[in-house]
Chains A and B, each alone.
Chain A
Amino acid sequence: MKLDPLSLAAAQHRLTALDMVFQAQSGHPGGSLSAIEIVTLLYHEILRVDPTKPDDPDRDRFVLSKGHCTPALYPALADKGFFPKEDLKTFRAMHSYLSGHPERGYIPGVDMTTGSLGQGISAAVGMALAGKMDGKSYRVYTLLGDGELDEGQVWEAAMSAAKFRLDNLCAIVDVNGLQIDGPTADVMPIEPLDQKFEAFGWHVVKCDGHDFDALRAAFAQAAATADKPTVLLAQTVKGKGVSFMENNAGWHGKAPNEEQYRIARAELEAQLAAIEKEVG
């Protein structure tokens, strides 16, 4: 298999996400690791954002509706140049601006305050609606968790986005199959998601959320879809990359101890080294 040019960045971000949560001894590794490829691709190729003009009215918007996954977001923002990578070490510390959940006006590059599930997608609808009103060509992206879809507000947002024919809006659902209390299938069954979103008037694309080419194709379809919003149902593995975190709800919001960190870091370093070797 040909190595994707973004694989290196993704592997680095995984490592950084793990470091951040370990250092803070607090945070959400599971859903951050499942979203690394999605967020990495967004910031490297999809989003038209410029760290020197964070308030540019014509910029694309990104709303991390599943706001707990800052360990996936902050490394990408730092990589893009919104703030120094050094600062990632201060994640969740009292005198740092890199708070546990994204805060607009406080963290450079963050378009919306999130952390209360279900609200981010509504804010994204508002941004897309404003884009239509003002005749702007920017696009709005928002990333949700599959557990987050339990919130009624998500479906209220979905209805309104279809009503206003927001083809400038693209939602991505990180379908990792787990929330806090266990598998989504047990806590609150939400499938069939494709049929639900279709019935709500959305264009639906299913893809592998860890495969850059599949994600690229899905984003391209979204951009080419007229008159309706698009949702990418990205199939992922929660805790991706760390063997003992994969598919384990227990790692939703828990920091590893020293021993677990050592093992996790060794695994992610090996993945990174393998990619570096191939890149040469």
Chain B
Amino acid sequence: MSEKIATRVAYGKALLEFAPEHPELVVLDADLAGSTNAAVFGNAYPDRFFDMGIAEQNMISVAAGLATCGKHVFASSFAMFSTGRAYEQVRTSVALPRLNVTVVGSHGGLSVGEDGPTHQCCEDLATMSSLPNMTVLCPCDGFEMRLAVKALLEQSGPAYLRMARLATEQFTDAIPGYTFRIGKGVTLRPGKDVTIAATGMMVSMAMKAAELLKEQGIDARVLNISTIKPLDHELLLQAAQETGCIVTTEEHSIIGGLGAAVASYLSETCPVPVIRHGVPDRFGRSGKAMDVLDYFGLNPAGIVEHVHKALALKKG
């Protein structure tokens, strides 16, 4: 555990770090450059940064136009607006023509807190992964965010990158040889009784839940699934076969996100109980981020509770 850093802060730093070796990189933002940290890049590279004002739909299609001319564009706003307000622009201007645009959504999930349900986007992983051609990433900490930005710059095609508002502990940097590959999950902890497949901020909570479970004599495996699409089938299949049940956990609706993707895949390949832990089919509410997360049970205790449901359904 080195420092606490929000993935959005790591994002700004990563853009700055990789800018020299990627002259094709162009960054757009929609009057939230300070919050998304796009401004960190913008201040250093004013000629490659454009503030598009509060006009997300225009921003996404402009990004598409830039991409047709050889630019690799990262276009950011709050997740609610970059993926929500501009959904069809992402679909038709970016995903369909397979352009080099990474749609960036910061303040994803409930942890935007006090701003309340108008700003709490718990649907972005669902909407973005429903689009053909899209890569959908949700890094778990600052170190992984840096690796994700690097990987996105090195690949081409449409992508969605979700970032979190809250500063959280960075831990993947302390794991020897930790690597990030688009489409690959990582086993953070071995275990044989149950698998907890987590994404984003829920990964560190899943690690804490595994500790609590250990005290109860339950040996939980923890996977970091930072690529929601394409899903790491191999890793999940193996986990299903070896542990016999899965709990997914995400700061996102249980509809259409990681849980839905894992359940759909396994029901067709290795049907084991898959219990989805996440935001129920309800809008969020205004309150301090941690209060809102606790209200919806998005904490280690909530994961433990869901693990017990999975174990109860597990055969044999």
Which A residues form the contact surface with B (CB < 8 A)?
24, 26-27, 67, 92-96, 98-101, 103, 113-118, 147-148, 150-152, 179-181, 186-188
Contacts and interface: CB of A to CB of B under 8 A. Distances in A.
B107 to A, nearest CB: 12
B32 to A, nearest CB: 6
B28 interface: no
Given A181-B31, A181-B33, A181-B34, A26 B55 contact: no
Interface residues of B, number: 32
Contacts of A24: 114
Say whether chain A's binding surface is mostly helix, strand, loop, or mixed.
loop
Interface string B195-232: 00000000000000000000000000000000000000
Contact of B118 (A96, A113, A147, A148): A113
B291 interface: yes
A94 B54 contact: no
Interface string B287-307: 110011001000000000000
Contact of B31 (A99, A114, A118, A187): A187
Nearest to B295: A94
B117 A103 contact: yes
A151 B55 contact: yes
Contacts of B119: 100-101, 115-116
B118 A152 contact: no
B173 interface: no
15 contacts: A24-B114, A26-B288, A27-B114, A94-B286, A99-B116, A99-B117, A100-B118, A116-B85, A147-B54, A148-B54, A150-B31, A151-B55, A152-B58, A179-B54, A188-B55
A223 to B, nearest CB: 30
A118 B55 CA distance: 9
Contacts of B287: 92-96
A95 B114 CA distance: 11
B51 interface: yes
B53 A101 contact: no
B145 to A, nearest CB: 22
Given A181-B34, A181-B39, A114 B288 contact: no
B116 A150 contact: no
A147 B53 contact: yes
A94 B292 contact: yes
Given A113-B118, A187-B51, A188-B52, 4 more contacts: A150-B54, A151-B54, A181-B34, A188-B31
A148 B85 CA distance: 14
A96 B54 CA distance: 29
